[in-house]
Homo-oligomer: A and B are copies of this chain.
Amino acid sequence: MKRLFTSPSARAWLIVAAIVLVAKVFAQTDPLPSWNDGSAKKAIVEFVRVTTTDGSPTFVPAPERIATFDQDGTLWVEHPMYTQVIYCLDRVPAVVKARPELANVEPFKTVLTGDLEAIAKLSMPELEKVLTATLTGMPVDTFSAEVNKWIAQAKNPRWRRPYTELTYQPMQEVLSYLRSNGYRTYIVTGGGQDFVREYSARVYGIAPEQVVGTAGGTQFGYDKHGRPFLTKEPKLLLNDNDAGKAEGIHLMIGRRPYAAFGNSTGDRQMLEYTGAGGGARLMMLVLHDDATREYAYGPATGLPETKVGAFTPALYDEAKAKGWTVVSMKNDWKRIFQFDR
Residues of A at the B interface (CB closer than 8 Å) are 6-9, 11-12, 15, 63, 140, 193-194, 197, 201, 207-209, 211, 215, 217-220, 227-230, 237-238, 243-244, 246-247, 250-255, 269, 272-273, 276
Contacts and interface: CB of A to CB of B under 8 A. Distances in A.
Contact of A8 (B8, B217, B219, B238): B8
Given A228-B269, A255-B208, A217 B15 contact: no
A208 B8 contact: no
A247 B194 CA distance: 13
Given A12-B15, A209-B254, A269-B228, A220 B193 contact: no
B272 A247 contact: no
19 contacts: A6-B8, A8-B8, A8-B11, A11-B11, A208-B253, A208-B254, A208-B255, A209-B252, A215-B251, A218-B247, A219-B243, A220-B247, A220-B269, A227-B276, A228-B246, A228-B276, A229-B276, A230-B247, A237-B238
Nearest to A66: B209
7 closest Cβ pairs, A-B complex: A220-B243, A208-B254, A8-B11, A228-B272, A209-B253, A220-B246, A218-B247
A303 to B, nearest CB: 30
A6 B9 CA distance: 10
A237 B230 CA distance: 17
Contacts of A211: 254
Contacts of A251: 193, 215, 217-218, 237
Contacts of A12: 11-12, 15
One complex includes copies of this chain to the number of 2
Q: Tell me if A's interface is mostly helix, strand, loop or mixed.
A: helix
Contacts of A254: 193-194, 197, 208-209, 211
A230 B256 CA distance: 11
Given A9-B11, A193-B251, A219-B247, 4 more contacts: A11-B12, A194-B254, A197-B254, A228-B246
Contacts of A193: 251, 254
A9 B6 CA distance: 10
Contact of A250 (B140, B238, B243, B276): B140
Contacts of A8: 6-8, 11
A201 B131 CA distance: 38
A125 B37 CA distance: 61
A276 B218 CA distance: 17
Nearest to A251: B215
A254 B9 CA distance: 51
Contacts of A250: 140, 218, 230
Contacts of A11: 8-9, 11-12
